[in-house]
Structure 1
């Protein structure tokens, strides 16, 4: 399905990114992954079939720009999955302390990556930004993260506008609670009664990279087990009867 397609997955060494990278490789894609921390995880992915793992630190603008130039010079990509992200928890009064760091990785990083690689991407290529349902809901203790994901979803629409004439599609996938880091009680909040798994996200990303999604662009696909469709208080009241 993705044979002969070269795809970059940022933040590929762990969690959702790891699931996406491995799933795309299973579908025949030549996957280049990036990582910031987790060298041993990156080495393991190479042993599991990921073609190349490249160190990329979006918090170091000079270094990341040089890395992106090298990736652009290495040959065209048919797909980009902008997955790398950070979250920092703090009181709302302290949110400014982490604001720039979170936005540099979660928003500037995807934009910088797309700007660097899009000029060489062939027609019918695809960019997938991993956003979050947190970008739709307000936050209590991760204001910068939620705001950055809201901005990423909007950036997705803008990039779809400007890259559409080049035949490049841009979409966002927004997960909710994923099993690798979700509290156990969150499973009870979804109509499906479970948390998501990285492969639940990966399968949607894979679809968006295929020709089957050739008329899908500028949209956000929420992958949350129905979490955003449910009033959790009403759900609990319903289940109590």
Structure 2
């Protein structure tokens, strides 16, 4: 076992989750990562970074509950990163309540179940990080369930910080903006509207997670760190007006 202890990362086979798992493994954590359908990617992660992999469909509550109890007993976890999430896009008129329920199950309920099972067992100095989204701050059009679930996750983060803080366990969120994480973003104008002039990378988010898990963040609790290159600080029309004036 490494000196930094053991961390569970959900959705660790691809995108942001993979970058987080790799970053933490490289910095001395023993990493356990879940995956749902990305078996080949998970096996590659295990081969290249020594990550323990576990298959888990977080949309299945009974399986999540069983997994939470089992992983708590199998490992002495010092950290938890709730990264796994789903996004289903549908026009409002066709929005499925099954899709709504599934989105909230994966994006909100599963992180709560894992935190409830694992958080109280952590020693003082333990840390939980939830991966939210800048979509939590705005209204949506075709992904209402996703935006609402990420807003709920931020609220859950603050509540968990309240109840676990007295145990010495910190709970925070990272709130990414546009990130090139396997979902096509090149066709959108986000990079042009971002003051840094680019979309984020999964590694950008992984660095913030690693910071929040470290002793350098020992007094940060119940916070949401926005990592969006400044995107949410830009008004589309004000920028267009400024650009038009040269």
TM-score, normalised via structure 2 length: 0.94
Match of 2:211 in 1: 207
Deviation at 1:152, TM superposition (A): 0.2
2-side partners of 1:64 and 1:111: how far apart? 10
1-side partners of 2:23 and 2:201: how far apart? 12
Quick check: 1:196 aligned with 2:200?
yes
Deviation at 1:5, TM superposition (A): 1.9
Of the three residues 232, 237, 241, the one matched with 1:233 is 237
Deviation at 1:119, TM superposition (A): 2.3
Match of 2:19 in 1: 19
| 172-181 or 160-169, which deviates more | 172-181
CA deviation string 1:63-90 (max 9, x = no partner): 2211111100012211100000000001
* Cα 1:60–1:97 shift into 2, 3 Å: closer
Match of 1:134 in 2: 135
2-side partners of 1:158 and 1:36: how far apart? 28
2-side partners of 1:129 and 1:57: how far apart? 18
Kept in 2, the 8 Å contact 1:21–1:50? The answer is: no
Kept in 2, the 8 Å contact 1:15–1:198? The answer is: yes
| 116-125 or 33-42, which deviates more | 116-125
C-alpha RMSD over aligned residues: 1.2
Q: Secondary structure at the match of 1:48?
A: helix
* Displaced runs of 4 or more, over 3 A: none
CA deviation string 1:149-206 (max 9, x = no partner): 0000011000000001110000010001111322343210100000000010000000
Kept in 2, the 8 Å contact 1:175–1:223? The answer is: yes
Match of 1:57 in 2: 57
TM-score, normalised via structure 1 length: 0.96
Q: Secondary structure at the match of 1:78?
A: strand
Matches within 5 A, 1:1-241: 3-95=3-95, 96-180=97-181, 181=183, 182-184=185-187, 185-240=189-244, 241=246
| 230-239 or 125-134, which deviates more | 230-239
2-side partners of 1:61 and 1:80: how far apart? 18
CA deviation string 1:18-49 (max 9, x = no partner): 01110111111111000111100110000111
| 50-59 or 138-147, which deviates more | 50-59
Unpaired segments ≥5 residues, structure 1: none
Q: How many residues align?
A: 240
Kept in 1, the 8 Å contact 2:120–2:164? The answer is: no
